[in-house]
Amino acid sequence: MMDHPTFERENQERVQAVESSFHQAGKPLSKPGRILIGEGTVFKQGRKKIQQKILFLFTDILVYGSIVVPGRWYKKQKIIPLEDIELEDLEDSDIFKHQWLIRTPSKSFFVSAPSYEEKKAWIEHINECLSSLMQGTSCKPSKKFAVSWIPDPAACKCMRCLSTKFGGVNRRHHCRNCGFLVCNSCSKQRAVIDHIHPTKKLRICSFCYKNINEEKFRDRGDSAGKSSSEEEEFCPSGEENEKVEEGEIGIYSPSNWLDTKNGTWERLRIYDYPKSIPSQ
pTM, two decimals, is 0.76
Question: In CATH, what number is assigned to the domain containing residue 153?
Answer: 3.30.40.10
Whether 188 maps to a domain, the answer reads yes
Residue 137 has pLDDT above 90, yes or no: no
Whether 140 maps to a domain, the answer reads no
- Enclosing domain of residue 195: 149-218
| pLDDT single digits (tens) 52-91 | 999 999 999 999 999 999 989 999 999 999 999 999 999 9
Number of domains in the chain: 2
**Are residues 48 and 87 both part of a single domain?**
yes
Strand partners, 41: 54
Question: In CATH, what number is assigned to the domain containing residue 100?
Answer: 2.30.29.30
SS (H, E, C) 21-58: HCHHHCCCCCCCCCCEEEEEEEEEECCCCEEEEEEEEE
Last-in-domain residue among 190, 218, 246 = 218
Q: Which pLDDT does position 215 carry in this prediction?
A: 78
Residues, the chain, total? 280
| pLDDT single digits (tens) 173-222 | 999 999 999 999 999 999 999 889 999 999 999 999 999 888 776 665 54
Mean of all residue pLDDT scores within the chain: 82
Q: What is the dihedral of CA 171, 174, 180, 182, to 10 degrees?
A: -30
Q: Which pLDDT does position 258 carry in this prediction?
A: 87
**Are residues 12 and 117 both part of a single domain?**
yes
**Are residues 15 and 73 both part of a single domain?**
yes
Distance separating alpha carbons of residues 61 and 33, to the nearest angstrom: 12
Distance separating alpha carbons of residues 253 and 1, to the nearest angstrom: 27
Cα dist. 235→197, 203, 232 in Å?
10, 9, 10
